[in-house]
């Protein structure tokens, strides 16, 4: 009798141990799957970005958070008006920059005079075409000392705050291979709570939404007035 009870007891122990191992294996597989998905999203699909500086005002302000779409440019080319994150052609610089695409490959950007005007020249507009930049602060000048001709892998970028931006007017053209992705989503914050006796301020979300690309006459046969940088249907918090 004792032997029978012992065998039954051992069978129960082995069964419980086996069930525990299967349970832990299921949890492990789930964790591996979640980590793998998170890795793919973080390094190949979407990357967070923190705005530093004033070069993209008034579209984006210092301290705002952005999500960068790293996938789209594997299937299509960057487009005029899109705000991109890229590695600038500056030696010993590892910091990412954020600017707006103004001129495309094989185009020419002609800074006409000291008044702050410029035109884009391409096969369609050999004498040049201005851009309707509604995202700029009114009467913002765009000055540069020289005109620029782009190659087939080059992009000319500028910040929306033209007088406070280090961009292609200074460091030159951006190569396609150095573009990380396009700005896809924004999160605006505001101070919410300051921790007593410290300088630490906890923010709260003020608004967030998807970024819309402006439309220009130079790129469209049927033209609609350019939308603002930030989607007007954005969620206000």
So which residues are the catalytic ones? 55, 99
Instruction: Answer for the pair 180, 47: CB distance below 8 angstroms, yes or no.
Output: yes
Q: Which residues of 205-219 are buried (b: 16+ CB within 10 A; e: fewer)?
A: eeebbebbbbbbebb
Give the pair of three-digit tokens for residue 8.
């039954």
Beta bridge partners of 65: 50, 187
Q: Which 8-state DSSP code applies to residue 73? A: G
Q: How far apart are CA 12 and CA 202, in angstroms?
A: 54
């Amino acid at each position: 009798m004792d032997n029978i009870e012992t065998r039954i007891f051992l069978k129960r122990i082995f069964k419980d141990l086996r069930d525990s191992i299967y349970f832990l294996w299921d949890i492990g597989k789930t964790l591996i799957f979640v980590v793998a998905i998170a890795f793919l999203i973080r390094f190949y699909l979407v990357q967070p970005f923190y705005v530093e500086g004033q070069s993209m005002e008034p579209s984006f302000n210092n301290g705002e958070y952005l999500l960068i779409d790293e996938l789209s440019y594997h299937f299509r080319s960057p487009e005029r008006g899109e705000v991109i994150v890229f590695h600038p052609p500056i030696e010993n610089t590892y910091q990412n920059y954020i600017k707006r695409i103004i001129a495309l490959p094989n185009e020419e950007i002609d800074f006409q005079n000291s008044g702050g005007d410029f035109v884009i020249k391409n096969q369609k507009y050999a004498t040049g075409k201005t851009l309707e930049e509604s995202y700029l602060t009114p009467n913002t000048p765009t000055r540069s000392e020289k005109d620029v001709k782009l190659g087939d892998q080059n992009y000319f970028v500028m910040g929306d705050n033209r007088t406070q931006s280090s961009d292609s007017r200074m460091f030159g053209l951006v190569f396609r291979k150095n573009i990380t992705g396009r700005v896809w989503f924004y999160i605006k914050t505001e101070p919410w709570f300051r921790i007593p006796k410290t300088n630490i301020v906890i923010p709260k979300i003020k608004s967030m939404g998807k970024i819309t690309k402006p439309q220009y006459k130079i790129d469209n046969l049927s033209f609609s007035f350019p939308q603002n940088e930030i989607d007007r249907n954005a969620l206000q918090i």
